[in-house]
Structure 1
Amino acid sequence: MTRSTVTPGTVIDGFTVGDCVHSGGMATLWSVTHEGISVPLLMKIPRVSEGEDPAAIVSFEMEQMILPRLSGPHVPACFGTGDFARQAYVVIERIPGETLYKRLPDLPIAYEEARALVASMAAALADLHQQNVIHHDIKPSSIMFRRSGEAVLIDYGLSHHTQLPDLLQEEFRLPYGTAPYMAPERLLGRRDDPRSDLFSLGVLLYFFTTGVRPFGESETLRGMRRRLWRDPRPPRKLRADYPPWLQEVVLRCLEIEPVWRYPSASQLAFELNNPDQVKLTARSERLQRDPLSTVWRRRFNPELTLPRVKADMAAQLASSPIVAVALDTVEGSQELNSALRMTAERILATLPAARLACVNILKLGRITIDRTLDEQGHNKHIHRMVALKHWASPLKLDENRLTVHVLEAVDPAAAILEFAEANHVDHIIIGARGDSMLRSLLGSVSAKVAAEASCTVTVVRPPRRAALAVQDEKADRMFASGQPGS
């Protein structure tokens, strides 16, 4: 391994080095160009001179292994890597703009702005976790935003890939990371739980909305270990106007035990995108920290000082999807809605951490003025929300697993697709309507959703026996009224 002698003008594997953009404690960043690549590029080169922290070298190896395997808008594109035999480097796209670190002088920021920012970060984490990677260094300086609005996660030197060797775990016993954002289980040597990233995101949300870090600035191992048994002050203790729903989200992210946090980043993003649907518990009302009796119980709980069973990240994420069922509470047949409920029940029975979103479309006219009240004088929106809750009541779901949504739209299929995309829905359940000449010419809502959705779609038909019974009943009515049959 040779000492880096990179200077402006140096050519490395076809990359021409330009100016030094940043000189950090573990690596330097250089602007580079390449004849066959048109996007702006950065070359990251590790510090390998005498006296440098060996962890810097190991973390760079991790980044070299992980970055080329990642894709999508939430990660920087990787264009090349070099080994330590000649010159170690990673070339990535240069994301325009600054990291969130530049926002620290503005703290605390408005609640709505913080909600939108962290919702985007949670969506980015959800995508990263689906690619088998836990970031383990979520903090303001590792987050950027594209001009199109997507959050981009950078710096993967401390990350864990479930399908690659974890060199940091194998070679070092001390936890590496940024102390104020580190999850409690990381202090016990656990690096295989994606909910560790949700804890870090909770720290960031707390910090950005209160201006104070929930666990202070301590960087000593002794100081950090206090979070294994000591909870932070509730945000409402710091700011009297703190929204209860936001405190519910923040404190759930900051639970000491991972099992009490959100089961996935997708579900956290869902809550932040739908704050009116957040189910409030005692967390939302708290003004004081846990009593000392609870703290001492945690302090001397032997289970908290022992590593847990190795987590299966893929199984955990697969068991906590977001399932959306699209219902017609006005014109939908009872048989079809019953069949939809049976299908949802079968799916949820195997997914104990799944969230169910019941969706109804309040169809708007393209040129008409739509009335908010129906013929009986009921508010259409509220009436349909009640109907959705009534439909879901036989499922007996915990209130934290159920939300209802009435969407106003001209195009029902487009509204369902947009809802699924915005909320990272994993599975859509939708009913198939009966045949008609109009639908055969224009296509059905379910057909469009099934054809264009980026997630799994289950199209449900009522049992044939029930459908025949409906047809017989319709024929009987037509016969009794003297109308000719079809």
Structure 2
Amino acid sequence: MRPGDVIDGFRLVERMHVGGMAHLWRVTRDDMSPTAILKAPIVQDGDDATAIVGFEMEQMILPLLGGPHAPKFIASGDFTRQPYIVMELIAGESLLARVEHAPLPVEEVVEIGIGVAHALADLHSQNVIHLDIKPSNIMRRPGGEFALIDFGLSRHDLLPDLLAEEFRLPLGTGPYLSPEQIRRDRGDPRSDLFSLGVVLYYLLTGVRPFGTPRSPRALAKRLWRDPEPPARYNPDCPPWLQEVILRCLEPGPDLRYPTAAQLALDLATPEQIRLTERADKRRADSWLTARRRWWLQKLAPMRHPRTIAARRASAPIVMAALDFSEAGAAFGDALRETVGRVMTTAPGARLACVNVIKTSRLRIDAAQDETGRHLHVRRLVEVRQWAAGLRLPAAQVTAHVLEAVDPAAALIDFARENHVDQIVIGAGAAMRRTTIGPIAARIGAQAPCTVTLVRPPQPAAQGGDGEDVATEPEQGLGI
């Protein structure tokens, strides 16, 4: 390939990168603006066939992806003449450029963690596990959103996994491989959370938590050996961030965050993270503890594969939209009862209790109520008191008070940004007088997830002969 060559209408402008498995070219086409990127695999006699099979996987997966967290697919060519993939050229730089400046400020590490966790949540919702999360595969767009690139080692739930079928060695980048990948289990989305934990640890400390292993034996150590706590290398690491990172790096996936969405929610609300012994650790576990873990992993039964959708469904994020006005209070018990039933169906579920303080576009709203208490703080206390009646573990519930001119838009945005799977909200004719009631229809129509509308029990009416007669259910908001 040379500058000026034309492949299926795409003109090669300049070679941007030569890696171990592919060339990357900036290309243009008469009917296309701006320029795009063409990726062509390096195929030579005697080369590892991983590059070929990985390229085939990326050709299959990339056209199925949508949204801002992956490059847009444009075209591809097969091996009959010239294999290539043409995709969106993402403006911005990869996180590899930031590694040189590690350790980074805590605020920047947290911002990166939230952004990449959102990208992973979006990717997993499209039935894809990336399986090669590392700084060079994470791009930051000019608008601040993070995108993931290079899907050659990825797995799609609805496609054959050619890499698993044809190769018997762990596939990925040594420092970032999850324990499951080392065991050749490519079906767990929590593997991406482990790799993200490695990235955050590295950016926060300037040290890779598991070094740079170069042999199968060195790789296998992370099956039972935990890393040194990040606070040992960076004293500025707050306990809650150490809690999050070490939870991501747990050798057993069941001890990590169940979903990327739950990880993002914790990073965005650090004051509500429930700390464990991870937060206060100053040294890695003792040799005896590591040895015990080694025996347990040797005796562990074979894990049964589950689909990505099934794993996500077992750990949904549920949002309860609360109204504390006089009319809305009548729905409190009915709403709590419904939320309680929803939470019992998925033990790994996370509950976000949300209330909205409506603000004005034109006037300055008072920060205090009539008794002099701070309104935002009072609402937060009310949200927590409502949630306490559910008797759920504290680590399973978070409280949120939003301030917005448009409460419906605020609730919908919260659901979208936090990958909420189900919204539970009160609705009915009586709710027209409340803050949330009039907007339940908008939420039902526009929310990016399931919406459950709760009505209070209808009182029975007395018939002419003294018998109780059930009233007709009110049409409410017509949903």
Task: Confirm or deny that 1:412 pairs with 2:397.
Answer: no
Task: Confirm or deny that 1:456 pairs with 2:450.
Answer: yes
Alpha carbons 1:64, 1:81 under 8 Å: kept: yes
Task: Confirm or deny that 1:40 pairs with 2:27.
Answer: no
Task: Confirm or deny that 1:108 pairs with 2:86.
Answer: no
Question: Which secondary structure state, in structure 1, belongs to the residue aligned with residue 100 of structure 2?
Answer: helix
- For 1:158, the equivalent position in structure 2 comes to 153
CA distance in 1, matches of 2:428, 2:30: 56
CA distance in 2, matches of 1:7, 1:431: 63
What's the CA shift for 1:250?
A: 0.4
1:292 aligned partner, one-letter code: W
CA distance in 2, matches of 1:436, 1:178: 55
- For 1:350, the equivalent position in structure 2 comes to 345
Identify if the C-alpha distance between structure 1 residues 332 and 199 changes in structure 2 by more than 3 Å, giving closer, same or farther.
farther
1:425-470 Cα offsets, whole Å, 9 max, x none, are 222111126459889xx9812222223322222222211128x89x
- For 2:180, the equivalent position in structure 1 comes to 185
CA distance in 2, matches of 1:269, 1:246: 12
| Aligned partner (choices 378, 388, 392) of residue 387 of structure 2 | 392
Question: Which secondary structure state, in structure 1, belongs to the residue aligned with residue 34 of structure 2?
Answer: strand
Alpha carbons 1:188, 1:307 under 8 Å: kept: no
> Larger deviation: 382-391 or 73-82?
382-391
CA distance in 2, matches of 1:262, 1:8: 47
| Aligned partner (choices 276, 284, 288) of residue 283 of structure 2 | 288
Question: Which secondary structure state, in structure 2, belongs to the residue aligned with residue 464 of structure 1?
Answer: coil
| Aligned partner (choices 70, 82, 87) of residue 92 of structure 1 | 87
1:455 aligned partner, one-letter code: C
Identify if the C-alpha distance between structure 1 residues 275 and 415 changes in structure 2 by more than 3 Å, giving closer, same or farther.
same
Q: How does 1:62-73 map to 2 (within 5 A)?
A: 62-73=57-68
1:89 aligned partner, one-letter code: Y
Task: Confirm or deny that 1:20 pairs with 2:11.
Answer: no
What's the CA shift for 1:220?
A: 1.6
Q: How does 1:28-427 map to 2 (within 5 A)?
A: 28-303=23-298, 307-427=302-422
Alpha carbons 2:129, 2:155 under 8 Å: kept: yes
Alpha carbons 1:188, 1:306 under 8 Å: kept: no
2:385 aligned partner, one-letter code: H
1:96-132 Cα offsets, whole Å, 9 max, x none, are 2221111111111111111111211111111111111
CA distance in 2, matches of 1:151, 1:239: 25
CA distance in 1, matches of 2:425, 2:78: 51
- For 2:475, the equivalent position in structure 1 comes to none
- For 1:477, the equivalent position in structure 2 comes to none
CA distance in 2, matches of 1:286, 1:332: 48
Alpha carbons 1:188, 1:305 under 8 Å: kept: no
1:185-222 Cα offsets, whole Å, 9 max, x none, are 11111000000000000010111111111111122211
1:294-333 Cα offsets, whole Å, 9 max, x none, are 1011122254676421123211101211111111124344
CA distance in 2, matches of 1:215, 1:281: 22
CA distance in 1, matches of 2:437, 2:31: 45
Identify if the C-alpha distance between structure 1 residues 9 and 296 changes in structure 2 by more than 3 Å, giving closer, same or farther.
same
Question: Which secondary structure state, in structure 2, belongs to the residue aligned with residue 16 of structure 1?
Answer: strand
CA distance in 1, matches of 2:357, 2:276: 30
Alpha carbons 1:33, 1:41 under 8 Å: kept: yes
CA distance in 1, matches of 2:127, 2:361: 44
> Larger deviation: 30-39 or 154-163?
30-39
- Compute the TM-score of the two structures, normalised by the length of structure 2: 0.91
Question: Which secondary structure state, in structure 2, belongs to the residue aligned with residue 301 of structure 1?
Answer: helix
Question: Which secondary structure state, in structure 2, belongs to the residue aligned with residue 395 of structure 1?
Answer: coil
CA distance in 1, matches of 2:297, 2:22: 39
Identify if the C-alpha distance between structure 1 residues 328 and 195 changes in structure 2 by more than 3 Å, giving closer, same or farther.
same
1:169 aligned partner, one-letter code: A
CA distance in 1, matches of 2:67, 2:364: 41
Identify if the C-alpha distance between structure 1 residues 305 and 221 changes in structure 2 by more than 3 Å, giving closer, same or farther.
farther
Task: Confirm or deny that 1:10 pairs with 2:5.
Answer: yes
Identity %: 52
Alpha carbons 2:327, 2:433 under 8 Å: kept: no
Identify if the C-alpha distance between structure 1 residues 113 and 253 changes in structure 2 by more than 3 Å, giving closer, same or farther.
same
1:399-447 Cα offsets, whole Å, 9 max, x none, are 22100112223332222222222222222111126459889xx981222
What's the CA shift for 1:71?
A: 1.4
Question: Which secondary structure state, in structure 2, belongs to the residue aligned with residue 176 of structure 1?
Answer: coil
RMSD: 2.1
CA distance in 2, matches of 1:397, 1:48: 56
Identify if the C-alpha distance between structure 1 residues 97 and 333 changes in structure 2 by more than 3 Å, giving closer, same or farther.
closer
Q: Give unpaired runs (5+ residues) of structure 2.
A: 463-479
CA distance in 1, matches of 2:365, 2:384: 24
CA distance in 2, matches of 1:311, 1:115: 30
Alpha carbons 1:9, 1:16 under 8 Å: kept: yes
CA distance in 1, matches of 2:245, 2:365: 39
Alpha carbons 2:102, 2:204 under 8 Å: kept: yes
What's the CA shift for 1:146?
A: 1.6
CA distance in 2, matches of 1:133, 1:238: 34
Alpha carbons 1:270, 1:424 under 8 Å: kept: no
1:408 aligned partner, one-letter code: E
> Larger deviation: 121-130 or 332-341?
332-341
CA distance in 2, matches of 1:436, 1:225: 58
Alpha carbons 2:202, 2:208 under 8 Å: kept: yes
Identify if the C-alpha distance between structure 1 residues 50 and 133 changes in structure 2 by more than 3 Å, giving closer, same or farther.
same
Identify if the C-alpha distance between structure 1 residues 175 and 332 changes in structure 2 by more than 3 Å, giving closer, same or farther.
farther
> Larger deviation: 120-129 or 282-291?
282-291
